[in-house]
Amino acid sequence: MADALKIGIAGLGTVGSSLVRILGERANELARTCGRPITITAVSARDKSRDRGVDLSAIQWFDSAVEMANTADIDVFVELMGGAEGAADQSVRAALSRGLHVVTANKALLARCGVELAVMAEEKGALLNYEAAVAGGIPVIKALRESLTGNTVSRVYGIMNGTCNYILTRMEKEGLSFEACLKEAQHLGYAEADPTFDIEGNDTAHKLAILTTLAFGTQIAADEIYLEGISNISIEDIQAAADLGYRIKLLGVALRTDTGIEQRVHPTMVPHDSVIAQVDGVTNAVAIESDILGELLMVGPGAGGNATASAVLGDIADIAKSRPGAQRVPVLGNPASTLAPYTQAQMQSHEGGYFIRLTVLDRAGVFADVATRMADNGISLESIVQRAKGSETDSKTIILVTHATTEQSVRQAVDAIKSGTYLAGEPQVIRIERPKAF
């Protein structure tokens, strides 16, 4: 049997502790499958005294991840600290500079400077694996980076934030408000005390930026993602969506258009009978549409210590199975030096169907005016429904679902409607996304 693969783990939170435990418990099976033992020779974390439920006494301890990356006797540096800057960034660079392989779960770091890191890794002939960075245990990086080699991807999209999907699912199933479901998610540990990063879509955007570069061979452009969170989705939207045969999900979507790459994160209506519509709770799902394979959808756990540790372990095992320096998998699917500049498609040019919900005063002529504004902007309607809002109010709800049109047309039509005097609330606009095959 070949020499052991020596790994150093920086960060011993939930994922890091799970990984240490699993590498200990499964040492024999892993050595058999990989053709050599995998040995933890170094670890690093902030607090040495904390009890993590795993025995670290035989492993060299570093207070500093950077020092570990610079000096430890390791083949692979496993970064599980998180954070786009600081120690995570410095230690990964230090490890790559030494020619060490790197495995990381750090989406923020990759979204910020993944191309730079890829260049470093490829110059040194090192592997940089990051399956856990997007959609937890779902092997979407491997699918895009390896399985789909030779395919031209047209669209990649998915449910990549468990917190948002949990909240939207509970709102639909229990008829509860956004605020009530958020509190519940916080109570269950599915949402942070400050949930902004999840519910406003930033977390999804980091993951989407990584998928975009893998799918389209362009530079990473996390800052050029159109972003809308779920905090203004109401129970009325969810019920109206259900009535019309749709469900609302927070999707990250990237697609190639004639004018550039469209990257967006927003609440999205998906047809009720599509497979992705059925993905509930904290579960994640990612779909990839490509020209040779067709459509591929993967569903699984997007977070959690074990699921994330499983993805990290798969990345480590891939390194263990190859002889040192023998693999040439480009970090971002294509060699980092060949990535094309990112050209952003304008959001105004986005084409698709739209759901529009208007709260209007109960007056003659309103319905006709709304329909006219749509027609004026060349928008044809799949359906238009008017409903009373209940006896105690004199307002009504008008719900429109459009056929494919442009963002610009919809914004102009809505602005025209807002210039009238009959609106009794802010219009709600939700984009519709249709899976191609299922």
Q: Measure the CA–CA gap between 259 and 185, rounded to whole angstroms.
A: 40
Q: Is 310 in the site for a copy of itself (CB under 8 A)?
A: yes
* Contact string (CB under 8 A) for a copy of itself, positions 110-149, x = contact: ---------------------x-----xxx--xx--xxxx
Q: Is 14 in the site for a copy of itself (CB under 8 A)?
A: no
Size of the site for a copy of itself (CB under 8 A): 65
Q: Measure the CA–CA gap between 56 and 77, rounded to whole angstroms.
A: 17
- Shortest distance, position 126 Cβ to a copy of itself, whole Å: 14
Residue 66: strand, helix, or coil? helix
Q: Is 26 in the site for a copy of itself (CB under 8 A)?
A: yes
Does 10 belong to an annotated binding site?
Answer: yes
For 332, phi then psi, to 5°, come to -105, 30
Does 340 belong to an annotated binding site?
Answer: no
Q: Is 35 in the site for a copy of itself (CB under 8 A)?
A: yes
By CB under 8 A, name the one of 330, 352, 353, 427 that touches a copy of itself: 330
Of 109, 159, 168, 169, the residue nearest 135 (C-alpha): 159
CB of 147 or CB of 257, closer to a copy of itself: 147
Q: Which residues, at least 6 apart from 316, have a Cβ–Cβ distance to it below 8 Å?
A: 5, 7, 38, 76, 78, 103, 129
- Shortest distance, position 30 Cβ to a copy of itself, whole Å: 6
Q: Which residues, at least 6 apart from 76, have a Cβ–Cβ distance to it below 8 Å?
A: 5, 6, 7, 8, 100, 101, 102, 103, 316, 319
Q: Measure the CA–CA gap between 86 and 10, rounded to whole angstroms.
A: 13
For 336, phi then psi, to 5°, come to -60, -30
Q: Which helix (H) or strand (E) holds 376?
A: helix 366-376
Does 16 belong to an annotated binding site?
Answer: yes
- Give Cα 89 distance to the centre of its chain: 21
396 annotated active-site = no
Q: Is 294 in the site for a copy of itself (CB under 8 A)?
A: yes
- Shortest distance, position 151 Cβ to a copy of itself, whole Å: 6
Q: Is 384 in the site for a copy of itself (CB under 8 A)?
A: no
Q: Measure the CA–CA gap between 295 and 289, rounded to whole angstroms.
A: 4
User: Which amino acid does the sequence have at 291?
Assistant: D
Q: Measure the CA–CA gap between 40 and 309, rounded to whole angstroms.
A: 14
- Shortest distance, position 140 Cβ to a copy of itself, whole Å: 10
By CB under 8 A, name the one of 48, 328, 363, 387 that touches a copy of itself: 328
Choose one: 220-228, 270-278, 370-378, 392-400; the region binding a copy of itself (CB under 8 A).
Answer: 270-278
For a copy of itself, the binding residues (CB under 8 A) are 18, 22, 26, 29-30, 32-35, 131, 137-139, 142-143, 146-151, 273-275, 277-281, 283, 290, 292-301, 304, 306-307, 309-311, 313-314, 317-318, 321-323, 326-330, 333-335, 338, 437-438
Q: Binding site for L-homoserine: which residues?
A: 192
Q: Would you please indicate which residues are annotated as catalytic (active-site) residues?
A: 207
